[in-house]
Amino acid sequence: MRRLRAMVAATAVCAAHGVSAIEAQEVPSPVAGASLQVTSSLTDGLAVARNAPIELTFSRPLLRPAERIAVFIDRTDVTGLFRAGARSMAYERGLILLPGGTHELVVYVVESASGTWREVHRQPFQTVGPLGFQPGRSDLSLTAATARRMTEGFDPEEAAPPEAVENVDLQFRLSTEHVRGALKVASQTALVGASERDKALRFYQRGDDAPRIDLSSYLLQASNGPVDLSVGHVSAGDQRHLVNRFSSRGATLAVRPGSRVDLSVAALNGSQEVGWDRLIGLDDGGHRLVTGTVGLEAFSTPG
C-alpha cells in the first residue's frame, strides 16, 4: 500500500513538471537584441476620420524596462494617449481630433540605459476635413503681360501722337477638386484684369463703369455615382442640326440609371455671359435655351 502511494505521488509530480514545461514553451520570453517590427492599423492611400483610432502591433513583446515606445504624430508626442498591451499599443476613437490634411505617424524604440532613440516605423496618412472631404487638389496660376514697341520714329517729329499708356493684362485661374466617398466636387474659376479701363473685359458694354478685374468664366461640378450636376459656363447638345455644343452660363444635369440608358437636361442663357452679374444666367425667361436628351443603347456593341 505504501509502495502504491509513492508511485501515485511520483506520477503527480511528473505531471506537474510536464505542464510547467508546456506552458513555458507556449509563452516564450522576449529575445534580447531581436529587431522590433511595428505595423499600424492605418492603410496607405486611404484617408481616415480626424478622430479615427490607431493601433500599433509589435513583432515581439517589449523588453521592459530596458526599452519603451514613443509615438509621434507630426511633431507632437502622443505616447501618453496610447494604452499599452503585451504586444500592441492603441488609443480609442475621439482622443485626438486632427486637422484635415496630410500627417505622419512615427514610432521610436527608446533604450533606457543609453537613452538612444531608434526609429522603427514611419507612415504618412491623410485625414478627411470637417465636412468629410479628403484632402483635395488645387491648381493656381497668375500671369501678367504688357506690350510695347521696341522703337518707333516719326517724320516730322511734330506728327508723333501722344505717348501711349502701357496696359498690363492679368489672368488668374484657380481649379479645385475634393472627394468624399463617391461624391466628387470640382470648380474652375478664371478672372481677367487690365490696368487701363478701356482694356477691361466689359468696356464696350459698360464704358467707364466696367470693372478692371472681371469674371470671365467659372464652373462648379458635382458627381455622385450615376448623377452629374454642373453650374456655370456649361455646354449642351451633341446634335449637329439641332444644338451642337452650345456654350453659355446655365446648368446641366445628367443621370445614368442603367448601363444602356442615360438622361440629360440643360438650361442655358441664350447668349454668352461674362462678369459678376447674372452668375446663373437663367433670369431672362425670353432669352433661354432648354434641352433634354434620352440615350438608349438598343444593341450591345463593342466599346
pLDDT in tens, 167-215: 788 999 999 998 887 889 999 999 999 988 888 888 888 888 889 999 9
Report the run of H or E that residue 290 belongs to, with start and end. Answer: strand 288-296
Sign of CA dihedral 112, 116, 121, 124: positive
Under-50 pLDDT residues of the chain: 1-32
Q: What is this structure's pTM?
A: 0.59
Let me know the angle formed at the C-alpha of 262 by 303 and 273, rounded to the nearest 5 degrees: 110
Look at the chain and count its residues: 303
Question: Is domain 38-127 annotated with CATH 3.50.50.60?
Answer: no
Distance of CA 218 to the CA centre of its chain: 21
Q: Do the Cβ atoms of 234 and 252 come closer than 8 Å?
A: yes
Q: Do the Cβ atoms of 138 and 56 come closer than 8 Å?
A: no
Instruction: Supply the pLDDT for residue 110.
Output: 93
> Rounded to an integer, what distance in angstroms lies between the CA atom of residue 263 and that of residue 265?
7
Q: Do the Cβ atoms of 164 and 152 come closer than 8 Å?
A: no
> Rounded to an integer, what distance in angstroms lies between the CA atom of residue 290 and that of residue 162?
51
Q: Percent of the chain, pLDDT > 90? A: 33
Instruction: Supply the pLDDT for residue 158.
Output: 65
Instruction: Supply the pLDDT for residue 149.
Output: 66
Instruction: Supply the pLDDT for residue 34.
Output: 65
Domain ranges of the chain: 38-127, 134-220, 226-303
DSSP string, 172-196: EEEEEEEEETTEEEEEEEEEEEESS
Instruction: Supply the pLDDT for residue 282.
Output: 84
